[in-house]
């Protein structure tokens, strides 16, 4: 099994593992329950996406602060 590093994605994986739909006597699953669960899943994915965006923004900002300085030092040593 693949190791999941993102906390939100781990929560989604666990939620999907426990997911059960209400059944109806005729017609299989309860349609309203399915739509409710899909909305909940969508919200969980939005939370995970926002967390990843924040992480990437922090990494980019860190790179901008440290990467530019590193490139400047490398260019100074080449001259």
Alpha carbons within 13 A on the beta-carbon side of 38: 6
Q: What is the pLDDT of residues 37-77, one digit of tens each?
A: 999 999 999 999 998 999 999 999 999 988 766 555 555 55
Residue 5, pLDDT score? 64
Closest CA to 10 of 59, 36, 47: 47
Q: What is the pLDDT of residues 7-42, one digit of tens each?
A: 888 999 999 999 998 998 887 999 999 999 999 999
Alpha carbons within 13 A on the beta-carbon side of 3: 1
Q: Rounded to an integer, what distance in angstroms lies between the CA atom of residue 19 and that of residue 44?
A: 14
> Could you state, in order of their start, the residue ranges of all structural domains in the chain?
32-79
pTM of the model: 0.66
Q: Rounded to an integer, what distance in angstroms lies between the CA atom of residue 60 and that of residue 70?
A: 15
């Amino acid at each position: 099994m693949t190791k999941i590093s993102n906390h939100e994605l781990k929560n989604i994986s666990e939620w999907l593992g426990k997911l059960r739909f209400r059944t109806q006597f005729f017609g299989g699953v309860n349609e309203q329950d399915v739509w409710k669960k899909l909305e909940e899943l969508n919200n969980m994915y939005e939370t995970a996406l926002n967390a990843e965006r924040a992480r990437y923004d922090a990494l980019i900002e860190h790179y901008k602060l440290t990467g530019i300085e590193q490139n400047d030092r490398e260019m100074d040593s080449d001259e």
